[in-house]
Amino acid sequence: MLRFAHPNRMSDDNIPPEITPHILLRAYSIGMFPMADSADDPGLFWVDPEQRGVFPLDGLIVSHSLAKLIRSDRYDVWVDRDFDAIIDACAEPVPGRPDTWINAQIRDLYRRLFHLGFAHTVEVYDRKDKLVGGLYGLQMGGAFFGESMFHRSRDASKVALVHLVARLRTAGATLLDTQFVTPHLASLGAIEIPRATYHEQLEQAIGQTADFYVWPKDECIHGERALAALHNGS
């Protein structure tokens, strides 16, 4: 959602000349993910951090003000409507981050994974159907790998995160990977776990089944339902 820190970079020699969606899925299944140095860099490198960021699905911290915003349904929340708009927004320069790691190869790979049903978005719109926040990531079994998130209106990315966690809990997922932890993510409940612990949790989660569309793709989920799912997982 979730990428804000520089990774523990592995050798560029480990990157095959052409990464396919199949290779990318295999990499995620064993704990690695790709990054680029910048949007203009055509190459990628693998990352497998010593300390991995995760969101315990029963540990998301939702403030009273955020819960009030979500319950008000000021925003409409959908999934998988416009992948290109989401990844474009995630790649936009923002204060404190003039450049992005989302290069052309990243865009192409995740777009292909979206069409194959592995990549997903959570999209937040205002009452005028204007995209104001969201996130994208990759799901395999009971694991969801958060890639990036953005907001154009206050707390819109947090709304997307709450809806993602609610959906994953309802679907029976057990792992939400954030890759790294920043103070902002920690304030929402993200924690770091050692690489070996992450790999154990990943292996268990990959073997599980979780339906991202446990709530239908074409259904706008109300905030009250999402908040309730954080407590009871349904």
The CA-atom distances, in angstroms, between 20 and each of 41, 110, 207 are 18, 10, 22
The pTM for the full model equals: 0.90
Outline where DSSP puts E strands in 90-174.
Answer: 119-125, 131-140, 143-151
The residue range of the domain holding 177 is: 12-232
- Over the stretch 32-65, which tens digit does the pLDDT of each residue have? 999 888 777 778 889 999 999 999 999 999 999 9
Task: Check residue 95 and give its pLDDT.
Answer: 65
Instruction: Work out how many domains the chain is built from and give that number.
Output: 1
The residues with which 76 forms a beta bridge, in sequence order, are 125
Cβ–Cβ under 8 Å, residues 172 and 24: no
Q: Give the span between the Cα atoms of 25 and 68, in whole angstroms.
A: 37
CATH of the domain at 99: 3.40.630.70
Instruction: Tell me, yes or no, whether 139 lies in a domain.
Output: yes
Instruction: Tell me, yes or no, whether 1 lies in a domain.
Output: no
- Over the stretch 185-216, which tens digit does the pLDDT of each residue have? 999 999 999 999 999 999 999 999 999 999 99
Residue 216: Cβ-neighbour burial (10 angstroms; 0-12, 13-18, 19+) = exposed
Instruction: Tell me, yes or no, whether 109 lies in a domain.
Output: yes
The CA-atom distances, in angstroms, between 69 and each of 72, 162, 182, 187, 231 are 5, 11, 23, 18, 17
Instruction: Tell me, yes or no, whether 85 lies in a domain.
Output: yes
